[in-house]
Structure 1
Amino acid sequence: MNAAFSSWPAFLAMGGYAFYVWLAVAVTLLSLAALLGHTLVARRQLLRAIRRQQARAERMRQGALRATPAIPPEKVQ
C-alpha cells in the first residue's frame, strides 16, 4: 500500500487544492464549534428556566398551605 502523499509539505499542499481543502476543514470545524456552543448555552438556559419554574411552584405550594385555614377540632368528626 502506498501513501497518498510523500511528505508533510505535500500533504499540506493537497496537490494544489490546499486553499479549498483547508478552507472547507476550517468552515466545518467552526460550524461544529458554533453548534456545540449554542447547544451548551441553550441547555444552561433551559435548566435555569426549569429551576426557576420549580422554585415558583414550591413558593406557590407553600403560600397555599399558609393561606388554607386550619379546621377547628370541633368540626372534625
Structure 2
Amino acid sequence: MNDLSSYFAMGGHGIYVWSSYAVTAVVLVVLLAATLAGLRRRESELRRLEESHE
C-alpha cells in the first residue's frame, strides 16, 4: 500500500498532477456535452426547415 501511496503522491507533486487530470476530464466532458447539444439543435432546425420547404 505504501508504494501505491507514494505513486499517487508523485514526490509531493501529486496534487498538481491529479488536479490537472481532473480539470482536463471535466473540460472534455463539457465540450462533448456542448457539441452534442449543438448537434441536436441543428438537426431539429434542419428537420423543421425541411418540413417547411415541402
TM-score of the aligned structures, taking structure 1 as reference length: 0.65
Structure with the higher helix share, 1 or 2: 2
Q: Residue deviations 1:12-35, cap 9 Å, x none?
A: 111101111111011100110011
**CA distance, structure 2, for counterparts of residue 43 and residue 8 of structure 1:** 42
Counterpart in 2 of 1:48? Answer: 44
If asked which structure has higher relative contact order (CA below 8 Å, sep 6+), I would say 2
Displacement over 3 Å in runs of 4+: none
Q: How many residues align?
A: 53
Unmatched 5+ residue regions in structure 1?
A: 1-5, 59-77
Alignment map for 1:1-77 (pairs within 5 Å): 7-58=3-54
Query: Partner amino acid for 2:44?
Result: R
CA RMSD, aligned part only?
Answer: 1.2
Instruction: Mark the structure with the bigger radius of gyration.
Output: 1
